[in-house]
Protein backbone atom coordinates (compact mmCIF):
# COMPACT_ATOMS: atom_id res chain seq x y z
CA UNK A 1 0.00 0.00 0.00
CA UNK A 2 1.43 3.43 -0.92
CA UNK A 3 2.36 5.57 2.05
CA UNK A 4 0.07 8.55 2.55
CA UNK A 5 2.02 11.75 2.87
CA UNK A 6 0.37 14.07 5.38
CA UNK A 7 0.59 17.76 4.53
CA UNK A 8 2.93 19.54 6.94
CA UNK A 9 0.89 21.71 9.27
CA UNK A 10 1.40 25.41 8.65
CA UNK A 11 2.89 27.62 11.31
CA UNK A 12 0.42 30.06 12.94
CA UNK A 13 -0.67 33.01 10.79
CA UNK A 14 0.25 35.56 13.47
CA UNK A 15 3.35 35.73 15.64
CA UNK A 16 2.93 38.37 18.32
CA UNK A 17 6.06 39.82 19.86
CA UNK A 18 5.25 41.30 23.28
CA UNK A 19 2.88 39.90 25.88
CA UNK A 20 1.98 43.15 27.65
CA UNK A 21 -1.62 44.35 27.99
CA UNK A 22 -2.25 45.09 24.32
CA UNK A 23 -0.26 42.11 23.01
CA UNK A 24 -2.21 39.75 25.29
CA UNK A 25 -5.58 41.21 24.32
CA UNK A 26 -4.78 41.11 20.59
CA UNK A 27 -3.52 37.53 20.78
CA UNK A 28 -6.73 36.52 22.59
CA UNK A 29 -9.06 38.34 20.18
CA UNK A 30 -7.25 36.94 17.13
CA UNK A 31 -7.51 33.41 18.46
CA UNK A 32 -11.18 33.84 19.42
CA UNK A 33 -11.88 35.00 15.84
CA UNK A 34 -10.56 31.65 14.58
CA UNK A 35 -7.13 32.82 13.42
CA UNK A 36 -4.02 30.91 14.39
CA UNK A 37 -1.68 32.84 16.63
CA UNK A 38 1.40 32.32 18.78
CA UNK A 39 3.14 34.64 21.22
CA UNK A 40 6.89 35.06 21.04
CA UNK A 41 8.58 35.42 24.40
CA UNK A 42 12.17 35.99 25.34
CA UNK A 43 11.86 34.31 28.72
CA UNK A 44 11.38 30.52 28.41
CA UNK A 45 10.77 30.11 32.15
CA UNK A 46 7.87 32.53 32.12
CA UNK A 47 6.30 30.62 29.25
CA UNK A 48 6.57 27.26 31.03
CA UNK A 49 5.11 28.57 34.29
CA UNK A 50 1.88 29.86 32.78
CA UNK A 51 0.61 27.58 30.08
CA UNK A 52 -2.72 29.39 29.55
CA UNK A 53 -4.12 32.86 28.96
CA UNK A 54 -6.95 34.13 31.19
CA UNK A 55 -8.83 36.58 29.03
CA UNK A 56 -11.87 38.70 29.94
CA UNK A 57 -13.66 40.10 26.92
CA UNK A 58 -15.56 43.42 26.77
CA UNK A 59 -18.86 41.72 27.63
CA UNK A 60 -17.29 40.36 30.83
CA UNK A 61 -17.05 36.75 29.60
CA UNK A 62 -13.98 34.87 30.76
CA UNK A 63 -11.98 32.63 28.45
CA UNK A 64 -9.12 30.27 29.18
CA UNK A 65 -7.06 30.18 26.00
CA UNK A 66 -4.31 27.87 24.95
CA UNK A 67 -2.07 30.17 22.92
CA UNK A 68 1.17 28.57 21.74
CA UNK A 69 4.41 30.17 22.84
CA UNK A 70 7.44 30.61 20.61
CA UNK A 71 10.99 31.79 21.18
CA UNK A 72 13.35 33.79 18.98
CA UNK A 73 14.93 30.49 17.89
CA UNK A 74 11.58 29.63 16.15
CA UNK A 75 11.58 32.83 14.09
CA UNK A 76 12.10 31.11 10.71
CA UNK A 77 8.52 29.73 10.93
CA UNK A 78 6.93 33.17 11.07
CA UNK A 79 4.25 34.22 8.57
CA UNK A 80 3.40 37.66 10.00
CA UNK A 81 5.18 39.42 12.85
CA UNK A 82 3.06 41.81 14.94
CA UNK A 83 5.30 43.80 17.29
CA UNK A 84 3.39 45.11 20.33
CA UNK A 85 6.12 45.89 22.82
CA UNK A 86 6.80 49.21 24.53
CA UNK A 87 8.47 51.66 22.14
CA UNK A 88 11.83 51.37 23.92
CA UNK A 89 11.85 47.57 23.66
CA UNK A 90 11.19 47.27 19.92
CA UNK A 91 14.78 47.54 18.70
CA UNK A 92 16.29 45.32 21.46
CA UNK A 93 13.61 42.69 20.69
CA UNK A 94 14.09 42.84 16.91
CA UNK A 95 17.89 43.08 16.65
CA UNK A 96 18.45 39.37 17.49
CA UNK A 97 16.09 38.46 14.62
CA UNK A 98 18.17 40.19 11.94
CA UNK A 99 19.32 37.64 9.35
CA UNK A 100 16.88 35.03 10.78
CA UNK A 101 13.47 36.49 9.96
CA UNK A 102 12.70 35.49 6.34
CA UNK A 103 12.73 38.58 4.13
CA UNK A 104 9.19 38.10 2.79
CA UNK A 105 7.60 38.17 6.28
CA UNK A 106 5.61 41.37 6.92
CA UNK A 107 6.47 43.22 10.14
CA UNK A 108 3.65 45.24 11.72
CA UNK A 109 4.60 47.83 14.37
CA UNK A 110 1.95 48.81 16.91
CA UNK A 111 3.25 51.12 19.63
CA UNK A 112 2.94 54.53 21.27
CA UNK A 113 5.07 57.32 19.87
CA UNK A 114 6.88 57.64 16.54
CA UNK A 115 10.33 57.51 15.03
CA UNK A 116 10.95 53.77 15.44
CA UNK A 117 9.89 52.55 11.99
CA UNK A 118 12.86 54.30 10.34
CA UNK A 119 15.22 52.25 12.51
CA UNK A 120 13.33 48.99 11.97
CA UNK A 121 13.40 49.59 8.20
CA UNK A 122 17.18 49.96 8.40
CA UNK A 123 17.47 46.61 10.22
CA UNK A 124 15.11 44.76 7.84
CA UNK A 125 15.43 46.62 4.51
CA UNK A 126 13.75 43.87 2.44
CA UNK A 127 10.78 43.01 4.67
CA UNK A 128 7.38 44.59 4.09
CA UNK A 129 6.99 47.05 7.01
CA UNK A 130 3.59 48.22 8.21
CA UNK A 131 2.36 50.56 10.93
CA UNK A 132 -0.77 49.97 12.99
CA UNK A 133 -2.56 52.42 15.26
CA UNK A 134 -5.27 51.47 17.71
CA UNK A 135 -7.32 53.03 20.46
CA UNK A 136 -8.56 49.77 22.02
CA UNK A 137 -8.19 49.64 25.79
CA UNK A 138 -6.26 46.76 27.35
CA UNK A 139 -5.22 45.81 30.86
CA UNK A 140 -2.87 43.18 32.21
CA UNK A 141 -3.76 42.24 35.76
CA UNK A 142 -1.32 39.37 36.29
CA UNK A 143 0.96 37.01 34.38
CA UNK A 144 -1.00 36.10 31.25
CA UNK A 145 -4.21 37.61 32.68
CA UNK A 146 -5.70 40.15 30.31
CA UNK A 147 -8.85 42.25 30.03
CA UNK A 148 -10.24 44.06 27.01
CA UNK A 149 -11.32 47.37 28.57
CA UNK A 150 -12.46 49.47 25.64
CA UNK A 151 -13.50 49.11 22.01
CA UNK A 152 -11.61 51.53 19.82
CA UNK A 153 -10.63 52.12 16.22
CA UNK A 154 -7.71 50.44 14.48
CA UNK A 155 -5.86 51.33 11.31
CA UNK A 156 -3.02 49.68 9.46
CA UNK A 157 -1.02 50.94 6.50
CA UNK A 158 2.23 50.55 4.59
CA UNK A 159 5.52 52.10 5.69
CA UNK A 160 7.44 50.89 2.61
CA UNK A 161 6.42 49.94 -0.96
CA UNK A 162 6.85 46.19 -0.24
CA UNK A 163 4.02 46.47 2.32
CA UNK A 164 1.48 47.84 -0.14
CA UNK A 165 0.17 44.41 -1.19
CA UNK A 166 -0.62 43.40 2.40
CA UNK A 167 -4.10 44.95 2.62
CA UNK A 168 -5.49 41.57 3.81
CA UNK A 169 -3.93 42.33 7.19
CA UNK A 170 -6.59 44.98 7.81
CA UNK A 171 -9.39 42.50 6.97
CA UNK A 172 -7.94 39.91 9.34
CA UNK A 173 -7.58 42.47 12.13
CA UNK A 174 -11.17 43.60 11.49
CA UNK A 175 -12.40 40.01 11.98
CA UNK A 176 -10.79 40.02 15.43
CA UNK A 177 -11.46 43.62 16.51
CA UNK A 178 -14.86 44.34 14.95
CA UNK A 179 -13.40 47.13 12.83
CA UNK A 180 -10.01 47.88 11.29
CA UNK A 181 -9.22 49.92 8.21
CA UNK A 182 -6.41 50.09 5.67
CA UNK A 183 -4.95 53.60 5.39
CA UNK A 184 -2.23 54.47 2.88
CA UNK A 185 -1.55 57.67 4.88
CA UNK A 186 -0.93 55.85 8.14
CA UNK A 187 1.60 58.38 9.44
CA UNK A 188 -1.22 60.97 9.62
CA UNK A 189 -3.08 58.62 11.98
CA UNK A 190 0.12 58.10 13.99
CA UNK A 191 0.48 61.87 14.37
CA UNK A 192 -3.11 62.21 15.60
CA UNK A 193 -2.44 59.58 18.27
CA UNK A 194 0.94 61.14 19.07
CA UNK A 195 -0.72 64.53 19.67
CA UNK A 196 -3.12 62.99 22.19
CA UNK A 197 -0.28 61.13 23.92
CA UNK A 198 1.90 64.29 24.01
CA UNK A 199 -0.91 66.14 25.78
CA UNK A 200 -2.28 63.48 28.13
CA UNK A 201 0.66 61.26 29.07
CA UNK A 202 3.32 63.59 30.57
CA UNK A 203 0.76 65.76 32.38
CA UNK A 204 -1.04 62.82 34.00
CA UNK A 205 2.28 61.18 34.92
CA UNK A 206 3.78 64.30 36.51
CA UNK A 207 0.64 65.27 38.43
CA UNK A 208 -0.29 61.65 39.18
CA UNK A 209 -3.88 62.13 38.02
CA UNK A 210 -6.31 60.03 35.99
CA UNK A 211 -7.00 60.99 32.38
CA UNK A 212 -10.39 62.40 33.41
CA UNK A 213 -8.85 64.80 35.93
CA UNK A 214 -7.13 66.62 33.06
CA UNK A 215 -10.48 68.19 32.17
CA UNK A 216 -10.29 70.27 35.40
CA UNK A 217 -9.76 74.06 34.95
CA UNK A 218 -6.24 73.93 36.47
CA UNK A 219 -4.96 72.05 33.39
CA UNK A 220 -6.79 74.19 30.80
CA UNK A 221 -3.92 76.60 30.09
CA UNK A 222 -1.25 73.89 29.73
CA UNK A 223 -3.48 71.85 27.41
CA UNK A 224 -4.26 74.91 25.29
CA UNK A 225 -0.58 75.78 24.93
CA UNK A 226 0.31 72.18 24.11
CA UNK A 227 -2.38 72.04 21.42
CA UNK A 228 -0.93 75.16 19.77
CA UNK A 229 2.60 73.69 19.83
CA UNK A 230 1.37 70.40 18.36
CA UNK A 231 -0.69 72.09 15.65
CA UNK A 232 2.34 74.21 14.65
CA UNK A 233 4.57 71.15 14.26
CA UNK A 234 1.89 69.05 12.53
CA UNK A 235 1.19 71.87 10.07
CA UNK A 236 4.91 72.14 9.33
CA UNK A 237 4.82 68.37 8.64
CA UNK A 238 2.12 69.01 6.03
CA UNK A 239 -1.03 68.16 7.98
CA UNK A 240 -4.03 70.46 8.01
CA UNK A 241 -5.07 70.51 11.62
CA UNK A 242 -5.99 73.28 14.06
CA UNK A 243 -5.07 73.69 17.72
CA UNK A 244 -8.79 73.84 18.61
CA UNK A 245 -9.43 70.53 16.89
CA UNK A 246 -6.50 68.85 18.69
CA UNK A 247 -7.66 70.21 22.03
CA UNK A 248 -11.24 69.04 21.42
CA UNK A 249 -10.09 65.54 20.43
CA UNK A 250 -7.76 65.23 23.39
CA UNK A 251 -10.43 66.33 25.88
CA UNK A 252 -12.85 63.84 24.31
CA UNK A 253 -10.30 61.01 24.79
CA UNK A 254 -9.62 62.17 28.38
CA UNK A 255 -13.37 61.97 29.09
CA UNK A 256 -13.81 58.61 27.33
CA UNK A 257 -10.92 57.12 29.31
CA UNK A 258 -11.63 59.17 32.46
CA UNK A 259 -10.89 56.38 34.93
CA UNK A 260 -7.66 55.29 33.18
CA UNK A 261 -4.18 55.85 34.42
CA UNK A 262 -2.32 56.79 31.23
CA UNK A 263 0.39 54.34 30.15
CA UNK A 264 3.05 56.87 31.24
CA UNK A 265 1.53 57.16 34.71
CA UNK A 266 1.35 53.36 34.92
CA UNK A 267 5.03 53.13 33.93
CA UNK A 268 5.97 55.69 36.60
CA UNK A 269 3.91 53.88 39.24
CA UNK A 270 5.56 50.58 38.35
CA UNK A 271 9.07 52.11 38.30
CA UNK A 272 9.51 51.26 34.60
CA UNK A 273 11.16 53.50 31.98
CA UNK A 274 8.52 55.63 30.25
CA UNK A 275 7.93 56.14 26.52
CA UNK A 276 8.76 59.87 26.75
CA UNK A 277 11.50 59.61 24.08
CA UNK A 278 9.17 58.13 21.46
CA UNK A 279 6.33 60.53 22.39
CA UNK A 280 7.46 64.04 23.40
CA UNK A 281 11.09 63.37 22.41
CA UNK A 282 9.96 62.69 18.84
CA UNK A 283 7.91 65.92 18.84
CA UNK A 284 10.90 67.96 20.06
CA UNK A 285 13.11 66.57 17.28
CA UNK A 286 10.54 67.50 14.61
CA UNK A 287 10.05 70.95 16.15
CA UNK A 288 13.79 71.54 16.08
CA UNK A 289 14.03 70.47 12.44
CA UNK A 290 11.37 73.04 11.53
CA UNK A 291 12.72 75.75 13.86
CA UNK A 292 9.50 75.82 15.91
CA UNK A 293 9.57 76.71 19.61
CA UNK A 294 7.69 74.22 21.83
CA UNK A 295 8.48 75.44 25.37
CA UNK A 296 5.67 73.67 27.23
CA UNK A 297 6.43 70.32 25.62
CA UNK A 298 10.13 70.82 26.35
CA UNK A 299 9.42 71.56 30.02
CA UNK A 300 7.27 68.42 30.35
CA UNK A 301 9.94 66.33 28.60
CA UNK A 302 12.66 67.58 30.94
CA UNK A 303 10.49 67.06 34.02
CA UNK A 304 9.79 63.42 33.08
CA UNK A 305 13.48 62.82 32.27
CA UNK A 306 14.41 64.23 35.68
CA UNK A 307 11.93 61.95 37.45
CA UNK A 308 13.37 58.99 35.54
CA UNK A 309 16.91 59.98 36.50
CA UNK A 310 15.82 60.07 40.15
CA UNK A 311 14.37 56.57 39.81
CA UNK A 312 10.80 58.01 39.25
Active-site residue set: 193
Helix, strand, coil share (%) of the chain residues, nearest 5? 50, 15, 35
Angstrom distances, CA of residue 270 to CA of 160, 250, 288, 311:
36, 25, 32, 11
Residue 45: partners with Cβ closer than 8 Å, 6 or more residues away = none
**Candidate residues 15, 31, 192, 262; the one interacting with ligand KPL per rule CB under 6 A:** 262
**Candidate residues 196, 247, 284, 287; the one interacting with ligand KPL per rule CB under 6 A:** 196
In the bound complex, what is the minimum distance in angstroms from residue 196's beta carbon to ligand KPL?
5
**Candidate residues 28, 187, 197, 227; the one interacting with ligand KPL per rule CB under 6 A:** 197
Neighbours of 187 (CB within 10 A): 19
Q: Is 85 in the site for ligand KPL (CB under 6 A)?
A: no
Site string for ligand KPL, 142-181 (x = CB under 6 A): ----------------------------------------
Q: Is 81 in the site for ligand KPL (CB under 6 A)?
A: no
- Which residue, 132 or 163, has its beta carbon nearer to ligand KPL? 132
- Alpha-carbon Rg of the chain, whole angstroms? 20
Q: Is 227 in the site for ligand KPL (CB under 6 A)?
A: no
CA 110 to chain centre: 4
Interface region with ligand KPL, contact rule CB under 6 A, candidates 8-16, 17-25, 87-95, 256-264: 256-264
- What contacts 24+ positions apart, CB below 8 Å, involve 160-165? 160/121, 160/128, 160/129, 162/126, 162/127, 162/128, 162/129, 163/106, 163/128, 163/129, 163/130, 165/128
Q: What's the CA gap between 99 and 244, in Å, rounded?
A: 47
In the bound complex, what is the minimum distance in angstroms from residue 11's beta carbon to ligand KPL?
32
Interface region with ligand KPL, contact rule CB under 6 A, candidates 34-42, 118-126, 138-146, 253-261: 253-261
Chain residues that interact with ligand KPL, rule: CB under 6 A:
112, 196-197, 200-201, 211, 253, 257, 260, 262-263
Amino acid sequence: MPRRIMPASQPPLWTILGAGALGGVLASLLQLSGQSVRVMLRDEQRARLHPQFDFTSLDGNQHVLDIPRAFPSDIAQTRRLLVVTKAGQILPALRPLVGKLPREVPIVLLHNGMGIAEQVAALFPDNPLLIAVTSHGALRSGHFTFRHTGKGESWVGPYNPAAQQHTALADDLARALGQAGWDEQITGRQWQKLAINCMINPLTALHRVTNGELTAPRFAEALEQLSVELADVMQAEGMSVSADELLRRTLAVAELTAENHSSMLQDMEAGRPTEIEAITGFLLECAERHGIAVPVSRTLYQAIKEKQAQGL
